[in-house]
Amino acid sequence: MNFRMLRKDLRRKKSINLILLVFIFLSTMFIAGSLNNFAVIMNGVENFMDQAGVKDFLIVTMGEGSGELSENDRAIEEFLENQEQVKDFTVDDSLFLSENQVKMKNGKKVFMDSTGVLNSFPMKQQKFFDKGNQEITSVERGAIYLSQRMVEENKLETGDVVVIWSENGYEKEFQVAGELKDAFLGSDMMGIQRCIINEEDFVEMMEQGSLPYGRMYSISCKDSKAFQAEYNNQDFHEMFGADRELVKTTYVMELVIAAVILAVSLCLIIIAVIMLRFTIVFTVNEDYKEIGIMKAIGMPDASIRRLYMIKYFVLAAVGAFCGFAASIPFSRVLLLQVTEKIVIEGGSRGIFLQLLVSICIVGLIVLFGYRSTGKIRKFSPMDAIRSGNNGERFQKKTVFQLKNARVKTTTFLACNDVLSELKKYLVLLFTSIIGVWLVVMPINTINTLNSDGLTAWFALTDCDFYLTDEERVIELMAEGTKEAWYDFLKETGEGLEEAGIPVEKVCTEVFFKLRVRKGEKSYKSFTVQGLGTETKEYFYDMGEPPIYENEVAITHVVSEKIDAKLGDTVFITSGNQEKPYVVTAIYQSMNNMGEGVRFTESADLDYREVGGGFGTQVVLAREQDREKLSDIMEQAEELFPGSKVQTPGEFVNHMIGNIAGRLGPLKALTVAVVLAINVLVVVLMQKMFLIRERGEIGMLKSIGFSNRSLIGWQAKRVMLVLFFGIVIGTLTGAPFSQLTSGQVFQMMGASKIEFVINPLEIYVVYPAALFVVTVLACIIAMRRVKRVSVQEMNHME
Amino acid sequence: MSEALCVKNLCKTYVVNKRQNNVLKNVNFTIEQGEMVAVMGPSGSGKSTLLYSVSGMDRPTAGEVLLGGRRITDLKEKELAKVRLTSMGFIFQQMHMLKNLSIMDNILLPAYQAGKENRTRQEINEYCLALMRKLGISDVAENDITEVSGGQLQRACICRSLINQPQILFADEPTGALNRGASEEVMKELNKLNEEGTTIMLVTHDMKVAAKCSRVLYIVDGNIRGEFCMEEQENQEKLRERRLNNWLIEMGW
């Protein structure tokens, strides 16, 4: 009997049951897919490191000669062998490549934009993965796996031939076998990128001896913090020397994308739960009439309740199963955006989590259903027939009075409905608020990352354009004198002047990795010295710019690490000589995860320890030249063929791995998801309202309301709620961006973030698009009003 | 006297489970201006279907309906809505009103929706209050619909049906949901309106209600089987009821 009733119910109340089923399906898809993303992303980098086998501490050194162990390497090896915190360590040989040493077979240069390192396969240090997340198990002779950045920037494909050459005339051809997912050096923020070749090819290249030789040390520590403290007290020269935690933080830009996906996922979960509760409460209320009739004919409460619980269980099981199946591709689509650089662990664990979530949703629905039907015990048949209302009301329903209104009747009805039954519209209100947040956040992030003002976040001065010549920088580093850098700046300025481009200033920033100490606390920090600039040209959060050679400014991160405050004296070791410096200012920087010490131009530093230089900054002398900046940049490109010419925004964006460009498709995906959700919520809600309000609609038709007026009435309610939702969402969008992607910027070292807001985009274009699309969807959904006949009035409660 | 409503060869067919159900079969009748006509008949005879079809609430399958000489059966939905709004009033058995509006606002709704072609909002409000006073519900004007009795609510429905000064008033069992006292009050008001010139067509099961009308149509199986006219001098209520009762017995009531 129960099953016959259930079958009849499912068939007869097709619309409402179908809506409930659709909501369960969507909610499961969103929740299961999003929770999986959440889990995967939160542990993503850590899992990647584990899968690759990256050890606790990593050191990269570069020697002068070929294949011979330098004094520095010998000292490091000796230190590692005797250090009590070291459990074990491995050493791999490396060869270093400059940008000009890799070209296509046709002679075209392969851009690298940072130092390249060549390793043989297999490596003791770690495992590698290919683009399809499969572990690389062999590299054929004559084959090369290139870094993901090299493949992407040069649009290389598997099978292309690249040539590695050196100045002594040695050349060797390699066929591209694919791109490399490299846990240690794969991040865009890492200044080194790696290629791997066959072991025999590597030995052959090392033996011919024209490429700089270096080593990579991977150390397993008993206590990596204690080891790091000991290591920092040594004066080794290395290209890179840090623990696994710092390597993880270089993936912070991936986290910007992950943060967007997480925020989307989190919001989807919130929307799904709200939707689910709303739908169940609504459908149970719809069933009250029948519950009343069953009570009236003497059916016991338990039997009635069992009947409805079976119904909700069947609907929940079917909806959740379909939602679980759909959540797998849904989750994959979102994660694809993150997996460009890291190997995301999906597989059976992810599917198990999604299945578990789907089962929980079935439980949740049954629980919602159980709670909602629980009230039937207390009700008399009359109460149940009245949909749970006993006819008593202690608050007036009417909010406005039509006789006082100066608006169209449909507008009045819409406003009055929304304000009288605000609870009914909360789902739509929250959905539209969250929808705007989700759209605003990636846009604000992209605009901020694209803005020229970002250079200030990286503690760089403002300029008109950057000239970057990696090869020249390596030469200057090899020369090892401050004068060589000044000569280079002078040459660049003169070259521009001769070409008819008057310049006000040509400057650069040179960086070092130096030990900074205050008392017992010491730290190897990224330090910079501007050449051709004054320290007062940079932003400082506290204090005054350093002026004298014994003054420095430090970042908040360094200040915390060594516990140094304004006015304190810190000791910095350069050229084996420790000198005292007074801290005069504290600033924020997103360079090297927020670490930094700024010297004055006059500070005496050992230029043999230079770690590199940022691009050459050019400030034009004439205002009119700025108006034709793109022409001047083209001219500069012709003048310096080995250099990359970029605007400040492009320079910084490039430095952080074109994250803004990668956020672009994600923005499009988010906008599409938000629009789809808004449309779905509105369409399904309107269908539910239509089922409940068919009596009112019939009555209004009977007194002469046309279909158009009725659609107008319904659409205006949605418009009103959407309008407020979008306004609230827009006004609170900036704090939401601050809470999500702002956190990632803070992880990078920026203590204060001011998002660049494009008012037209944020306050007009996207809110309007969201509004228009949702209202259109509502109007289309409401065309079903035409099918409601006057006789439906008898369904009025 | 001119025709307020003319129904010619009206048919209405429903198809349920692929079976054709002819609810109205070639119905013909006319209602003159100022008449008050009741439609009676057993359950399932097609009374309500007839009322909904002639009032343009439902589309007939065949035949035509002329309201004040204007053929309404071929009108588009939008035009039909305008006819319902401006030319006719409808009273239902259940007192259907919007729960989020006060009594007065529910009454004003069709008038405001019709716009201010002839009347200002001030005039509409005054007319509404006058109607409410006339039907004795002016003191509950600002109340919610849950704060008044069934009789008051039905009188409010009558006010709403009259707010746009319709040519004809249709009523489907107007006293069906009311107790005896409230029924009498409502019928008294309807009679008063009819005396003032409003044409009324109503469907009822209640002989007492039908006895207050000037003419009664008896419908069986979708056909008008007979017509009973009250004579002018029959103003004694009991006498009218007895004569109607005898006629209904003859018709097989």
Q: Is B22 exposed, middle or buried (0-12, 13-18, 19+ CB in 10 A)?
A: middle
Whether the pLDDT of residue B58 is over 80: the answer is yes
Tell me the mean pLDDT in the region A470-493.
Answer: 88
- The single residue listed with the structure tokens 């309500």 is B48
Q: CB–CB of A148/A179 below 8 Å?
A: yes
Q: What is the pLDDT of residues B172-202, one digit of tens each?
A: 888 877 777 778 878 888 888 888 888 999 9
End residue of a domain, out of A586, A616, A646: A646
Residues A34 and A121 placed together within one structural domain of the fold? no
A605/A587 same-domain check: yes
Confidence tier at A329 by pLDDT (50, 70, 90): confident
Q: What is the pLDDT of residues A276-290, one digit of tens each?
A: 777 777 777 767 667
Predicted confidence at residue A480, as pLDDT, reads: 86
| Tens-digit pLDDT profile for residues A675-709 | 888 888 888 888 888 888 888 888 898 888 988 99
Residue B215 placed within a domain: yes
* The pLDDT value given to residue B44: 86
Tell me the chain B residues in contact with residue A791 when contact means C-beta distances shorter than 8 Å: 52, 57-58
Assess whether pLDDT exceeds 80 at residue B3: yes
Position with higher pLDDT, A27 vs B39: B39
% of chain A at pLDDT higher than 70: 90
Out of B96, B110, B113, whose CB is closest to A793? Answer: B96
Q: How far apart are alpha carbons B67 and B71 in whole angstroms?
A: 6
Q: What is the DSSP letter of A763?
A: I
Place of tokens 């650089």: A341
Backbone angles phi, psi at A616, to 5 degrees: -80, 125
Say yes or no: A642 and A509 in one domain: yes
Q: Flag whether B130 is in a domain.
A: no
* Residue whose tokens read 């500070």: A603
Task: Assess if residue B230 is contained within a domain.
Answer: yes
Which tens digit of pLDDT belongs to each residue from A414-450?
A: 998 888 888 888 888 988 898 888 888 888 888 887 7
Give the chain A residue whose CA is nearest to the CA of B146.
A391
What is the predicted pLDDT for the residue at A392? 47
**Domain presence at residue B85:** no
Q: Which residues of B touch A409 (CB under 8 A)?
A: 109, 112-113
Q: How confident is the model at residue A549 (pLDDT cuts 50, 70, 90)?
A: very high
- Is the pLDDT at A389 greater than 70? The verdict is no
**A704 and B92: CB-CB below 8 Å?**
no
Q: How far does the CA of residue B233 sit from the closest CA of chain A (Å)? A: 36
* Residue A762 pLDDT: 86
Residue A796 to residue B96, Cβ atoms within 8 A: yes
Residues of B within 8 A of A698 (CB-CB) are 96
| Cβ atoms A497, A651 nearer than 8 A | no
Percent of chain B at pLDDT exceeding 70: 97
Q: Which carries the bigger pLDDT value, residue B217 or residue A354?
A: B217
Place of tokens 């690298």: A112
Min distance A714 CA to chain B CA atoms (Å): 14
Select from A62, A98, A95 the least CA-distant residue to A236: A62
Specify if A315 maps to a domain.
yes
Do the beta carbons of residue B142 and residue B107 sit within 8 Å?
no
Q: What average pLDDT does range B139-160 have in this prediction?
A: 87
> Do residues A539 and A456 lie in contact, with contact meaning Cβ atoms separated by under 8 Å?
yes
B residues 56..85 contacting A (CB < 8 A): 57-58, 77-78, 81-85
What is the number of residues in chain A? Answer: 797
Predicted confidence at residue A375, as pLDDT, reads 67
Judged by CB atoms closer than 8 Å, whether chains meet at A706 and B78 is answered as yes
Asked which of A122-136, A355-369, A397-411 is least confident by mean pLDDT, the reply is: A397-411
Instruction: List the single residue in B with minimal CA-CA distance to A696.
Output: B98
**Residue among B105, B148, B164 with most chain A CBs within 10 A, to mutate:** B105
Read off the pLDDT of residues A461-480 as tens digits, 9 standing for 90 and up. Answer: 888 999 988 778 878 887 88
Residues A489 and A507 in one domain: yes
Q: Does A387 touch chain B (CB under 8 A)?
A: no
Nearest to A696 among B58, B81, B98 (CB): B98
The CA distances from residue A745 to A251, A263, A652, in Å, are: 12, 15, 14
Number of domains into which chain A is organized: 4
Tell me how far CA of residue A703 lies from CA of A687, B92, B161, B164, B176, in angstroms: 23, 11, 7, 10, 20
Contact check, Cβ <8 Å, B77/A786: yes
Q: Is 80 exceeded by the pLDDT of residue B213?
A: yes
A391-413 in b/e form (b: 16+ CB < 10 A) is eeeeeebbebebbebeebbbbbb
Nearest-neighbour CA in chain A from B164: distance (Å)? 10
Give one DSSP letter per residue of A133-202, joined into a string: SPBP----TTEEEEEHHHHHHTT--TT-EEEEE-TTS-EEEEEEEEEEB-TTT-STTSSEEEEEEEHHHH
pLDDT for res B30: 93
Of residues B58, B86, B128, nearest to A704 (C-beta): B86
pLDDT at B220 over 80: yes
Give yes or no for a contact between A614 and A605, defined as CB atoms under 8 angstroms apart: no
Q: Give the C-alpha separation, A453 to B167, whole Å.
A: 74
The pLDDT of A144-151, averaged and rounded, is: 89
Position A575 scores a pLDDT of 83
| pLDDT mean across residues, chain B | 87
Same domain, A574 and A560: yes
Could you tell me if B94 lies within 8 Å of chain A, comparing CB atoms?
yes
Cβ B95 vs Cβ B153: under 8 Å: yes
Q: What is the pLDDT of residue B1?
A: 60
In terms of residue numbers, what domain contains B247?
Answer: 1-78+205-253
Contact A771, A726 (CB under 8 A): yes
* Mean pLDDT for the stretch of residues A324-332: 86
Distance from CA of A776 to the nearest CA of B (A): 21
Sequence-ordered list of residues with C-beta below 8 angstroms from that of A487, at least 6 positions apart, any chain: none
* Residue A179 predicted with pLDDT over 60: yes
Q: Which of B72, B98, B127 to mutate to test the interface with A (most CBs of A within 10 A)?
A: B98
Question: CB–CB of B146 and A391 under 8 A?
Answer: yes
Contact call for residues A156 and A150 (beta carbons, < 8 A)? yes
Count of residues in chain B: 253
A430 is a domain residue: yes
Alpha-carbon distances, residue B89 vs A484, A696, B176 (angstroms): 98, 17, 18
pLDDT in tens, B4-25: 999 999 999 988 777 888 889 9
Specify the pLDDT at position B187: 86
Instruction: Tell if the CB–CB gap between B113 and A709 is shorter than 8 Å.
Output: yes
A415 and B CB contact within 8 Å: no
**Terminal Cα distance for chain A, rounded:** 29
- Is the four-CA dihedral A117, A118, A121, A123 of positive or negative sign? negative
Find, among A259, A365, A240, A232, the residue nearest to A310 by Cα.
Answer: A365
pLDDT value at position A376? 66
pLDDT of residue A55: 92
Q: B123 vs A188, which has greater pLDDT?
A: B123
* d(C-alpha A686, C-alpha A721), whole Å: 13
Q: Which residues pair with A40 in a beta bridge?
A: none
How many angstroms separate the CA atoms of A20 and A322, rounded?
Answer: 13
> Does A67 fall in a domain?
no
Strands A102-104, A161-165: pairing kind: antiparallel
Which of A340, A373, A392 represents a domain boundary (last residue)?
A392
SS3 label, residue B202: strand
Does residue B93 contact residue B171 with C-beta atoms inside 8 Å? no
Do you find a cis peptide bond into A546, omega within 30 degrees of 0? no
- A705 with B81: Cβ contact below 8 A: yes
- Residue B212 pLDDT > 80: yes
Residue ending a domain, among A349, A375, A392, is: A392
Identify whether residues A211 and A92 lie together within a single domain.
yes
B109 in any annotated domain:
no
- Given a cut of 50, is residue B85 above it in pLDDT? yes
How many distinct structural domains can be found in chain B?
Answer: 1
Chain A, chain B: beta-carbon pairs less than 8 Å apart: 106
Looking at the complex, report in whole angstroms how far the Cα of residue B27 sits from the nearest Cα belonging to chain A: 21
Q: Is residue B65 part of a domain?
A: yes
Domain that residue A684 falls in = 396-452+657-797
B120 belongs to a structural domain:
no
CATH number of the domain to which B213 belongs: 3.40.50.300
- CA triple A299-A302-A308, angle to 5 deg: 90
Q: What's the rounded mean pLDDT across residues A328-341?
A: 75
Q: What confidence score (pLDDT) does residue A258 get?
A: 67
Candidates B99, B107, B165, partner chain A, best to mutate (most A CBs within 10 A): B99
Winning range, highest mean pLDDT, from A8-12, A78-82, A208-212, B142-146: A78-82
**According to the model, what pLDDT value does residue A345 have?**
66
Q: How far is CA A118 from the centre of its chain?
A: 30
Over 50: is that where the pLDDT of A608 sits? yes
Of A704, A707, A789, the CB nearest to B85: A704
Mean pLDDT of chain A: 83
**A393, A412, A703 ranked by CB distance to B160: nearest:** A703
Please report which confidence band the pLDDT of residue A92 belongs to, taking 50, 70 and 90 as the band edges.
very high
Average pLDDT of A468-495? 88
Q: Is the pLDDT of residue A546 over 60?
A: yes
B26 in a structural domain: yes
